[in-house]
Amino acid sequence: MTHDRIDTHTTSSNVGEPADPSRRRFLVRSGLAAAATATAAASLPRVASGQAVGPLHRDVLVVLYLRGGMDGLTLCVPHGESELYARRPLTAIPPPGQPNGAVNLDGFFGLAPSAAGLLAPYQTGELLFVHACGSTDPSRSHFDAQKFMEAGTPNQPSLPTTTGWVGRYLSTATPISSGPLRAVSLDYLVPRGFAGGPKTLPIADPDTFTMPGASASVARRRETLQAMYGGESFPLGPAASSTFSTVQLLDAIDFAGYVPQNGAVYPTTQLGQRMRNVAALIKANVGIECLSVDMEGWDHHVNLGPIHGTMAGMMTNLSQSLHAFWKDMGLGIRRVVVVAMSEFGRRVAENGNQGLDHGHGGLMLVMGGGILGGRVLTDWPGLSPSQLDNGDLRVTIDYRDVLSEILSRRMGATNVATVFPNYTPVHRGVTA
Amino acid sequence: MSSEEISSSHSLVDSTLTRRGALGVGLGGIALFSAACSGGGGSSGAPSGGGPVPPTAQSELELLLARATYGHDAATHARAVDLGYEAWLEEQLSPDTIADGACDALLAAFPTLTLSSKQNYDQYYAQGNAARIALELRAATMLRAAFSKRQLFERVVEFWSDHFNVDQSDSLQNVLKTQDDRDVVRAHALGKFPDLLRASARGAAMSFYLGNYRNTATAPNENYGREIMELHSLGVGNYSESDVKAVARCFTGWSFQQTNSPAFGAFQFDPARHDDSAKVVLGHAIPAGGGVNDGEIVLDLLVNHPATAQFLARKMCRWFLSYEPSTSLVDAVAAAYTQTGGDIKAMLRVVLAKSSMTWALTQPAKMKRPFHLAASILRSTPFTITDATSLSTELGRMGHETFLWPSPNGYPDSSSAWGLGMLMRWTFASRLFAGDVAGVAFDPASVFANVPAVELARRADVILSGSRLSPTEVVAIQAYVDGAGGVDAALQRDVMALAASSPSFQTY
């Protein structure tokens, strides 16, 4: 570590508070408690780091996309629905109290045992499940469903899908700083939801995001590249320009030496390490407003494995990664919103391969200090045949309602109509 | 992301990539090494979409070479100039007539390529070494792209490999993908599309990847039924959800030999697991009792459907010509498909016709994907390659490791997907020329021997691109040389890396 690097260990110390029981809020259904939480969050000072902080106090948005169609009826199982067990004799998570049974949440819903890592942020009121939620676009195609969901234009196939909802939010919102980097995809590509956004780069690994080659010549090689890319139009020119500034920015941060706070232990999985880097980037406080993390592989047509198999392993990975992030952020979670979503849920009835085909209604996870969590928010449509949408869980809460509320209430957005065109969102009480 | 999505997306983004100057027009108008290749009546049309006008027009032949190969090399240029546009294209469309001994010799290091699935299973998979099979196929794919003289064939193979994407991340797939690459994709890449689709449908790799081997009468699994229509033939919007269910039922019992027998990996139809009741697919009644013929009827319906002709034509035009292919061109290619029963060569003769290139000359350039970038560096510049498997790791660092795209839609083909990750490209070029990639050595003397300091940038441009870099780029790189204390091997490596990192070299 060189002397001019920001030591994220010490920088983050003033937000790194142990997750102690005093933070637990059991009054999540109480307006009084919610108001108190909002006040506390609003008065929390920004993380000090020596960087100038813009005048706007907004939450940082982390978008975690679960690609492939994550089955919300497994992760957050409606164990109070006998229909579930009739239609999934081999793959449903058993009710609480039975072997391998769900971890009860509210008497009707429960967590899959492998997702138990989510219980702690749920119990502090900082994790909200939104069930029977998703995109109302009828497509059961992964790629179409993702395209319309990330473009923010379900049911509007005539609208362009060249920009994403986050991209449009950023391009019409005032930056929180004059820094070079407003959004990061922790990946090799920028996902569709972030397309068209200003100062947005794919950074799969921030630690290696540095100019290549010998240090003796690096300054002159950078000048050469700048001369070559200076006249280029979008995307190459702006991408190169952001890259040069971002390299300087990230070179000053010691990612390899980053020490998570509060005893948080991230899984060694790709997701775990990417969430660790998300935490390090947020704590570095360099003006990043939105981050994207993708988790692939939720397309479980065969051998769902909800208890010990494939999906259980993925839920363990997901829940432990989110748990570690939540723990690591400490009080800093009050200025962060993590939204996990998928293009659709899966069919209610299991198929003959102990798997699940493409469905419709799904589950969103929303985590943050300003979130009215500790509950399952839903307008539950039921699982009996007459209550389904072509055999699938109905969507009774549009994902745009959830995101719009976050943008408006936690990020001060005034451009929601641009982000989600031709849609009038309903605030569902996602935020405190 | 589906190709349909790609074709409709990012017109603003894609339209602003500029194409570079013509071969032979270099700094200060000095005619360079391949000046003979320029000329030929390049179009002077302005690019669509309001992007900057290309600094100099290229000829149709130059553009054909850029689009039908993985990048510049002097020998291929000479051959094309010698044969002329149509004859060179015809030669490339008959790859069996092109001797490819040098490339074949490189591939001799990879015995798994020619082994049966049974042999690969026994000799590698069962020994816990399935990764070796995957590593060899990935290395071979890169070497072929870089060094095969059958360049158009390799470009088409990459196209179909994405179209029929199979993710190799499962270790059994390491065995099956080698068979798929050889017996499905390469066997039919320039044949008839109906044969290609049928081979894929009967192939073990796709069956395993999309789970159709588990699709049975009592346990229908829609995955393949959906993707064969959405991604492999019709394109989204041309079928209903009930078609998905019906097609899935038609393919129940379609599986592959999973027992450890000589036929391991071969197609297998299990009548006992087939749903033999009547179905309706795309409005076509399929009577009960059809057995394996149900799937064959579906394949016939799909390959004869006009939506398939359109879907393939658009995607192929996009791959070779422009992110925004013109409707008339797409229609012409689709007509070639329909008239010839899906003859891929016939489609390519329209896609790559001189008149198509005249149109494409007016269009913005395309963005090289990382695999393409790597191949174009390797084929232009002398490297000593003793182990190509390390290149796979390098591609992974650019997000483009071969056969590892997880979703069935294949790696995207768009500048919006690849246009923001510049640093990983610069890093790759730097590592490659610095000798940091194990088994791939570059000797600066092989390029710069007896080249004076004032000519280094131009020499790098000639070698890498046949002088397609812009004057601005050449000047910038030469300024780097001029500002150094003196010329040494390290500087020469930097010069090559910078030229390969230039904006011009990222496009084609």
DSSP calls for B218-280: SS---HHHHHHHHTSSS-TTSS-HHHHHHHHHHTTTEEE--SSSTTTT-EEE-GGGS--S-EE
- State the DSSP code for B504: G
Interface probe, candidates B366, B423, B495, chain A, greatest A C-beta count within 10 A: B423
The reply to whether residue B419 touches residue A236, judged by beta carbons under 8 angstroms, is: yes
- Cα angle A351-A354-A357, degrees, rounded to a multiple of 5: 40
The number of helix segments (H) and strand segments (E) in chain A equals: 13, 12
pLDDT in tens, B197-214: 999 999 999 999 999 999
| CB proximity A156 to B under 8 Å | no
- Cα angle B312-A66-B227, degrees, rounded to a multiple of 5: 25
Interface probe, candidates B213, B255, B422, chain A, greatest A C-beta count within 10 A: B422
What pLDDT is attached to residue B245?
A: 95
Beta-strand pair A200-202/A397-398: unpaired
Query: CB B21: neighbour CB atoms within 10 A?
Result: 22
**B379 has a pLDDT exceeding 60:** yes
| CB proximity A204 to B under 8 Å | yes
The reply to whether residue A217 touches residue B400, judged by beta carbons under 8 angstroms, is: no
What pLDDT is attached to residue A353?
A: 87
For residue A252, the distance in angstroms to the closest alpha carbon of chain B comes to: 17
Q: In angstroms, rounded to a whole number, what is the distance separating the alpha carbons of residues A430 and A205?
A: 32
Least CB–CB distance from B480: residue in A220, A236, A353: A220
Is the C-alpha dihedral spanning B46, B49, B53, B57 positive or negative?
negative
Q: In angstroms, rounded to a whole number, what is the distance separating the alpha carbons of residues A368 and A40?
A: 13
Q: In angstroms, rounded to a whole number, what is the distance separating the alpha carbons of residues A228 and A224?
A: 6
What pLDDT is attached to residue B38?
A: 31
Q: Which residues of A touch B397 (CB under 8 A)?
A: 204
Q: In angstroms, rounded to a whole number, what is the distance separating the alpha carbons of residues A115 and B22?
A: 59
Q: In angstroms, rounded to a whole number, what is the distance separating the alpha carbons of residues B392 and B415?
A: 22
Residue with tokens 């790709």: A270
Q: What is the DSSP string of B81-135?
A: HHH-HHHHHHHHH-GGGS--HHHHHHHTT-GGGGS-HHHHHHHTGGGT-HHHHHH
**B401 has a pLDDT exceeding 90:** yes
Do B361 and B45 touch, CB atoms closer than 8 A? yes
pLDDT in tens, B147-179: 999 999 999 999 999 999 999 988 899 999 999
The pair phi, psi for residue A58, each rounded to 5°, is -125, 155
Model confidence at A4, in pLDDT bands (50, 70, 90)? very low
Residue B29 CB partners (closer than 8 Å, separation 6+): none
Q: Report residue B47 as tokens.
A: 């690019």
The reply to whether residue A211 touches residue B426, judged by beta carbons under 8 angstroms, is: yes
Do A352 and A79 touch, CB atoms closer than 8 A? no
pLDDT in tens, A135-167: 999 888 898 899 999 999 999 988 888 899 999
- Cα angle B22-A222-A234, degrees, rounded to a multiple of 5: 55
pLDDT in tens, A23-51: 333 222 233 333 333 333 333 333 333 33
SS3 assignment, position A384:
coil
pLDDT in tens, B35-68: 223 333 333 333 333 333 333 447 999 999 999 9
Is the C-alpha dihedral spanning B435, B439, B440, B443 positive or negative?
positive
pLDDT in tens, B457-468: 999 999 999 999
- B507 strand-pairing partners: B367
Q: Which residues of B touch A240 (CB under 8 A)?
A: 422, 503
The reply to whether residue A302 touches residue B214, judged by beta carbons under 8 angstroms, is: yes
Give residues 36 to 75 of B whose Cβ lies within 8 Å of A.
51-52
Least CB–CB distance from B477: residue in A187, A224, A297: A224
Rounded to 10 deg, the angle between the A218-229 and B471-482 helix axes is 160
Peptide bond into A235 cis (omega under 30): yes
Do B167 and B404 touch, CB atoms closer than 8 A? yes
SS3 assignment, position B49:
helix
Q: In angstroms, rounded to a whole number, what is the distance separating the alpha carbons of residues B102 and B144?
A: 10
Average pLDDT of chain A is 88
Average pLDDT of chain B is 89
- What one-letter code names the amino acid at B299? L
The reply to whether residue A243 touches residue B244, judged by beta carbons under 8 angstroms, is: no
Q: In angstroms, rounded to a whole number, what is the distance separating the alpha carbons of residues B423 and B443?
A: 24
Kindly state the percentage of chain B with pLDDT values over 90.
Answer: 85
Q: pTM of the entire structure? A: 0.84
- Cα angle B507-B161-B312, degrees, rounded to a multiple of 5: 80
**A1 has a pLDDT exceeding 70:** no
Q: Nearest residue on chain B to A219, judged by CA atoms?
A: B480
- State the DSSP code for A411: S
**B482 has a pLDDT exceeding 60:** yes
Least CB–CB distance from B9: residue in A161, A220, A243: A161
Number of residue pairs across A and B with CB atoms under 8 Å?
A: 180
Residue with tokens 């005539």: A158
The reply to whether residue A296 touches residue B502, judged by beta carbons under 8 angstroms, is: no
Q: Nearest residue on chain A to B229, judged by CA atoms?
A: A141
pLDDT in tens, A154-213: 999 888 888 999 999 999 999 999 999 999 999 999 999 999 999 999 999 999 999 999
Do B398 and B343 touch, CB atoms closer than 8 A? no
SS3 assignment, position A389:
strand
What pLDDT is attached to residue B31?
A: 30
Query: CB A76: neighbour CB atoms within 10 A?
Result: 26
Do A350 and A88 touch, CB atoms closer than 8 A? yes
Of the candidates B199, B243, B241, B207, the residue with the CA atom closest to the CA atom of residue B224? B207
Q: Which residues of A touch B51 (CB under 8 A)?
A: 233
The reply to whether residue B431 touches residue A212, judged by beta carbons under 8 angstroms, is: yes
Q: What is the largest CA-CA distance in chain B?
A: 82
Q: Which residues of A touch B12 (CB under 8 A)?
A: 162, 234
Model confidence at B98, in pLDDT bands (50, 70, 90)? very high
Q: Report residue A283 as tokens.
A: 């704590």
**B110 has a pLDDT exceeding 80:** yes
Q: In angstroms, rounded to a whole number, what is the distance separating the alpha carbons of residues A220 and A241?
A: 16
Q: Where are the domains of chain B?
A: 3-54+413-506, 59-187, 192-304, 306-360
Distance of CA A145 to the CA centre of its chain: 18
Give B421-488 as a 3 state SS string: CHHHHHHHHHHHHHCCCCCEEECCHHHHCCCCHHHHHHHHHHHHHCCCCCHHHHHHHHHHHHCCCCCC
The pair phi, psi for residue B26, each rounded to 5°, is -115, -155
The span from the first CA to the last CA of chain B, in angstroms, equals 22
Alpha helices in A116-235 (DSSP H): 119-123, 142-151, 165-171, 218-229
Do B317 and B332 touch, CB atoms closer than 8 A? no
Do B464 and B34 touch, CB atoms closer than 8 A? no
- What one-letter code names the amino acid at A309? G
For residue B487, the distance in angstroms to the closest alpha carbon of chain A comes to: 13
What pLDDT is attached to residue A69?
A: 96
- Cα angle A118-A124-A129, degrees, rounded to a multiple of 5: 50
Phi-psi region at B319: left, alpha or beta (left = phi > 0; alpha = psi -120 to 50) = alpha
Model confidence at B456, in pLDDT bands (50, 70, 90)? very high
The reply to whether residue B497 touches residue A213, judged by beta carbons under 8 angstroms, is: yes
Phi-psi region at A160: left, alpha or beta (left = phi > 0; alpha = psi -120 to 50) = beta
Model confidence at B17, in pLDDT bands (50, 70, 90)? low
Q: Nearest residue on chain B to A295, judged by CA atoms?
A: B406
Least CB–CB distance from B427: residue in A212, A235, A236: A212
Model confidence at B18, in pLDDT bands (50, 70, 90)? low
Model confidence at B109, in pLDDT bands (50, 70, 90)? very high
SS3 assignment, position A160:
coil
Q: Looking at per-residue confidence, does B406 or B444 come out higher?
A: B444
pLDDT in tens, A100-132: 999 999 999 999 999 999 999 999 999 999 999
- Cβ-in-10-Å burial (0-12, 13-18, 19+) of B215 comes to buried
> With the CA atoms of B179, B181, B183 and B188 taken in that order, what torsion angle do they form, in degrees rounded to the nearest 10?
170
What pLDDT is attached to residue A160?
A: 87
- A77 strand-pairing partners: A110
The reply to whether residue A144 touches residue B476, judged by beta carbons under 8 angstroms, is: no
Q: Report residue A293 as tokens.
A: 């993390």
The span from the first CA to the last CA of chain A, in angstroms, equals 40
Q: In angstroms, rounded to a whole number, what is the distance separating the alpha carbons of residues A318 and A271?
A: 7
Range with the poorest average pLDDT among A49-53, A282-286, B370-374: A49-53
Least CB–CB distance from B501: residue in A192, A220, A225: A225
Q: In angstroms, rounded to a whole number, what is the distance separating the alpha carbons of residues A427 and A413?
A: 14
For residue B98, the distance in angstroms to the closest alpha carbon of chain A comes to: 37
ipTM (interface pTM): 0.88
Residue with tokens 């849920």: A345
Q: Report residue B7 as tokens.
A: 């074709």
Q: Looking at per-residue confidence, does B38 or A291 come out higher?
A: A291
The reply to whether residue A204 touches residue B415, judged by beta carbons under 8 angstroms, is: no
Q: How far is CA B484 from CA B432, B447, B495, in A?
A: 21, 19, 11
Do A426 and A160 touch, CB atoms closer than 8 A? no
Residue B292 CB partners (closer than 8 Å, separation 6+): B253, B254, B269, B271, B274
